[in-house]
A and B are shown apart, each in its own frame.
Chain A
């Protein structure tokens, strides 16, 4: 039976193969087991003393060392945000016999509200063994004294020193610096929780939020040895945290103060830029608030008061406030018209004080009509139209250009787009054109709307910052920078990002700027009031934007209109004209008109230029 024999011989051959392989495997197993035995021998016998000390001596703990948050200073190095020592009560869970009992005991000594306990329980979930868990922040001297006396009977409770954020000029800079507050559950979803171990606060608004990553720094740790009661015997190893980067701003604290004082009780905004860099020299949104309130948890009552105040102190008007820009857009439209060939400096428009679209009965009024009963002059040219802010000239110009060309003139100056400034919550304003209206309302554009747009009314909206940026482009005769608050980040200087240049012929720039000088420097200029005794030259433009629309032929009577329905006043300007060192936009919310705005600009420019500031 040959097949059987084959099978038998195969079987014995297979047996031999497997046996050889099993012997090889057994050899390998012996070698590897010997390795294991050697390893355990090495750990347990050769290095026994070392590991015994480590485990016994005892209980090495890792403590996190929070990095110091970066400081924020103005351009002269004055502190705007700093860190001051404060104390907090924490609990080492491992050393507590009964947590409920301990919380009850602590609660009988110092005030513990439900939020504190709730937050404590949340924090408890993410800790390492023996890591103290914060219970109450910002202990007062009285709390410290009471706790100090009782600490010996509160097993597990410890008082920890920490640095807390402090804003020396809180109200003055609330909208620039913003604030930090305790890390919330929502924040935790967006950050690396390990990197924030040991850090209790995080930037919520403004620069504090925008530059959170740089300001926060990197966590350090200490390896410490403690005795059985958890007291630290010595530090074995220390890896210092790398502190957050300090931030230096372009902002000048004195100028900020001047701007704030000049506004006084006027609600509104002031933003001053250095046209050569885009650096923000002053940024005021009035009213502000005390940012220190937020650091250790603002009380419900305080927060409600801020939130519900009709003056909207939490609202940063400079970047969040969107208002019709009014006549401040006239110089930019003029430049566009010159470049696009819709006007020359010599062309004139007859001005009876009102304007009618061909074939329409409605009269579009010029603001001068209610004052003089007639127009600015029988014939108005571009220069007069800017200097005296003639609406009729712009009604006519806008009608001839059409809305899309008006928009084309304004867009390069940054209207309708966010400026990319380095802070939070910026709004982008609105620069309407036919395509936008079709998209937004599925409607075609009406000719009457073009007239409104020609004087910066209607759908058009701009933030004070956008207008400051636009006027700094005028100051630079076309060169344009993104506005920026931060000048230096740690050791590195932050260069202003250049935007696309606004191209126009030098003659056209000169024509527009000359007209803007007339606004201040000629008796009939709309801001002639600030032109007296000026030691330098200003080129500016006033603006008034309607809050409510006035019916046809109705008369706007300031006295009869509720304060919150009064017009907003605008003034944008730069100075000195031949070598601009400051560009500014001022908004006087419900200020009635530009006369509430231009004195503020004058005060800020006086302060900046008189002291020789801005000379680099």
Chain B
């Protein structure tokens, strides 16, 4: 934004009538309302999933409040500030990722965490935001569509951190983060034939990747998906139980707190990755549709924000954040329903877990920042 534009923007504010609360807070109401609705629903579902454990529910509420405040703060940033901070943020997160194998702490055979003593966090979570910001910064330095060389550099920016996360090992997160970067590249307008070529190469490398790249447990997850009955005691157990939970919900569900699958401990991870099964069992297909509708409102609003953004950077970032959000919804609900492999992806805004909640809400904060940026030029 030029000096003149900033001046125009400031004087503009002086002549308008008193700003609404939403404007003062830089809030986009069409985004905020469905988010609040989903978060509120999440509290109810979690209360049931945790067997009416108030402690868990209150911790979740605390996480929601922290995340909400984080969103409000980020919403006040000007997109251009975010853009200028992008490379620095990206470099810092990459550095943290490099530190993980060196000084990180592990759990269940994977080393994903860094500990600062009072707080433990996964640098890969930060990358979920840093990645699209970085790629959008890079591609908007020149006019769109990007040239071949710029796209190659963008790919390198995507691959490096994804590889670091993949070796933790956390293949699911790694793929989702790579996707968030690739969405920027896609929206920036690389030619379709280029996309087709890459897709063909990716398909062709599926077999070698399966043979040499995937670890046994990762192969197991895919095989379990194809035939959960083969391993009922082990990996197949989760899918069979979650499908049973969902299916037995029917149209209207068994009713709140009445889900037998979850309350009798058949359902694994019922407070985190598999929480949609609790919702589906207790609120039925109608509940699932209502949730999907709210998600759809969020997604449509996100795409509109992208369309109406004031800068190319804002457009790309908003689009990538929205598409990534959609992918989380799709992957989580797909895996619990048994059409995608089980990767550790929480259900956005509902699953218990502080870090992912904060990351997600900061992402929405960025969307609001883009949405509430004052219009500089009319088209």
- Chain A residues within 8 Å of B, Cβ to Cβ: 10-15, 17-22, 25-26, 29, 32-33, 35-37, 39-41, 43-45, 47-48, 50-52, 54-56, 58-59, 62, 64, 94, 128-129, 194, 197, 221, 223
Contacts of A45 in B (CB 8 A): 250-251, 285
Contacts of A56 in B (CB 8 A): 248, 260
Answer whether residue B339 sits at the interface, using C-beta atoms and an 8 A cutoff. Answer: yes
**What string of 1s and 0s marks CB contacts (under 8 Å) between B237-250 and chain A?**
10000011111111
In the assembled complex, the CB of A34 is this many whole angstroms from the nearest CB of chain B, namely 10
**What string of 1s and 0s marks CB contacts (under 8 Å) between B355-379 and chain A?**
0000000000000000000000101
Q: Is the CB of A221 within 8 A of B233?
A: yes
The answer to whether A129 and B247 touch (CB under 8 A), given A18-B189, A18-B307, A22-B307, is no
The answer to whether A40 and B319 touch (CB under 8 A), given A18-B144, A25-B187, A47-B247, is no
A-B residue pairs, 10 tightest by C-beta: A51-B247, A17-B189, A55-B248, A44-B285, A43-B247, A14-B144, A10-B143, A48-B250, A51-B248, A21-B187
User: Which of B38-46, B51-59, B330-338 lies at the binding interface?
Assistant: B330-338
A47 to B337, CA, bound (A): 13
Q: Is the CB of A54 within 8 A of B248?
A: yes
Q: Is the CB of B330 within 8 A of A44?
A: no
Answer whether residue B163 sits at the interface, using C-beta atoms and an 8 A cutoff. Answer: no
**What string of 1s and 0s marks CB contacts (under 8 Å) between B206-250 and chain A?**
000000000000000000000000001110010000011111111
Range of interface residues on B (Cβ < 8 Å): 35 or more
The answer to whether A40 and B145 touch (CB under 8 A), given A22-B319, A45-B251, A52-B247, is no
Answer whether residue B316 sits at the interface, using C-beta atoms and an 8 A cutoff. Answer: yes
Query: Smallest CB-CB separation from B289: which chain A residue?
Result: A37
Q: Is the CB of A59 within 8 A of B243?
A: no
> In chain B between 59 and 101, which residues have their CB closer than 8 angstroms to a CB of chain A?
none
Contacts of B326 in A (CB 8 A): 29, 32
In the assembled complex, the CB of B286 is this many whole angstroms from the nearest CB of chain A, namely 9
The answer to whether A40 and B280 touch (CB under 8 A), given A48-B250, A58-B260, is yes
Contacts of A17 in B (CB 8 A): 144-145, 188-189
A583 to B78, CA, bound (A): 94
Query: Smallest CB-CB separation from A14: which chain B residue?
Result: B144
- Chain B residues within 8 Å of A, Cβ to Cβ: 143-145, 183, 186-189, 232-234, 237, 243-251, 260-261, 264-266, 280-281, 284-285, 288-289, 292, 296, 299-300, 303, 306-307, 312, 315-316, 319, 323, 326, 330, 333-334, 337, 339, 377, 379
Q: Is the CB of A55 within 8 A of B292?
A: no
Query: Smallest CB-CB separation from A15: which chain B residue?
Result: B379
In the assembled complex, the CB of A139 is this many whole angstroms from the nearest CB of chain B, namely 28
In the assembled complex, the CB of A409 is this many whole angstroms from the nearest CB of chain B, namely 52
A48 to B312, CA, bound (A): 48
Q: Is the CB of A194 within 8 A of B233?
A: yes
A29 to B299, CA, bound (A): 9
The listed residue (B186, B292, B296, B312) touching A21 by CB distance below 8 A is B186
The answer to whether A62 and B250 touch (CB under 8 A), given A18-B189, A129-B266, is no
A20 to B144, CA, bound (A): 13
In the assembled complex, the CB of B3 is this many whole angstroms from the nearest CB of chain A, namely 15
In the assembled complex, the CB of A37 is this many whole angstroms from the nearest CB of chain B, namely 7
A404 to B339, CA, bound (A): 72
The answer to whether A52 and B250 touch (CB under 8 A), given A18-B312, A194-B234, A221-B233, is yes
Q: Is the CB of A33 within 8 A of B250?
A: no
In the assembled complex, the CB of B323 is this many whole angstroms from the nearest CB of chain A, namely 6
Q: Is the CB of B234 within 8 A of A25?
A: no
In the assembled complex, the CB of B265 is this many whole angstroms from the nearest CB of chain A, namely 5
A94 to B263, CA, bound (A): 12
The answer to whether A25 and B250 touch (CB under 8 A), given A18-B144, A55-B244, is no
Contacts of B260 in A (CB 8 A): 55-56, 58-59
Q: Is the CB of B144 within 8 A of A44?
A: no
Q: Is the CB of A221 within 8 A of B232?
A: yes
Q: Is the CB of B280 within 8 A of A44?
A: yes
The answer to whether A59 and B143 touch (CB under 8 A), given A15-B379, A32-B330, is no
The answer to whether A129 and B248 touch (CB under 8 A), given A12-B379, A25-B319, A43-B243, is no
Q: Is the CB of B319 within 8 A of A54?
A: no
In the assembled complex, the CB of B354 is this many whole angstroms from the nearest CB of chain A, namely 26
10 CB contacts below 8 A, A to B, read A18-B187, A21-B187, A22-B319, A29-B299, A37-B288, A40-B288, A44-B247, A51-B247, A55-B281, A64-B233
A353 to B115, CA, bound (A): 82
Contacts of B261 in A (CB 8 A): 55
In the assembled complex, the CB of B82 is this many whole angstroms from the nearest CB of chain A, namely 18
The answer to whether A18 and B319 touch (CB under 8 A), given A12-B379, A39-B339, is yes
A59 to B262, CA, bound (A): 11
A44 to B242, CA, bound (A): 12
Query: Smallest CB-CB separation from B326: which chain A residue?
Result: A29
Q: Is the CB of A22 within 8 A of B187?
A: yes
A542 to B337, CA, bound (A): 78
Q: Is the CB of B334 within 8 A of A25?
A: no
Contacts of A12 in B (CB 8 A): 379
Q: Is the CB of A25 within 8 A of B144?
A: no
Q: Is the CB of A14 within 8 A of B337?
A: no
Q: Which of A36, A48, A55, A221 has the most CB of B within 10 A?
A: A55
A430 to B145, CA, bound (A): 80
The listed residue (B284, B292, B307) touching A44 by CB distance below 8 A is B284
Q: Is the CB of A44 within 8 A of B233?
A: no
A39 to B288, CA, bound (A): 11
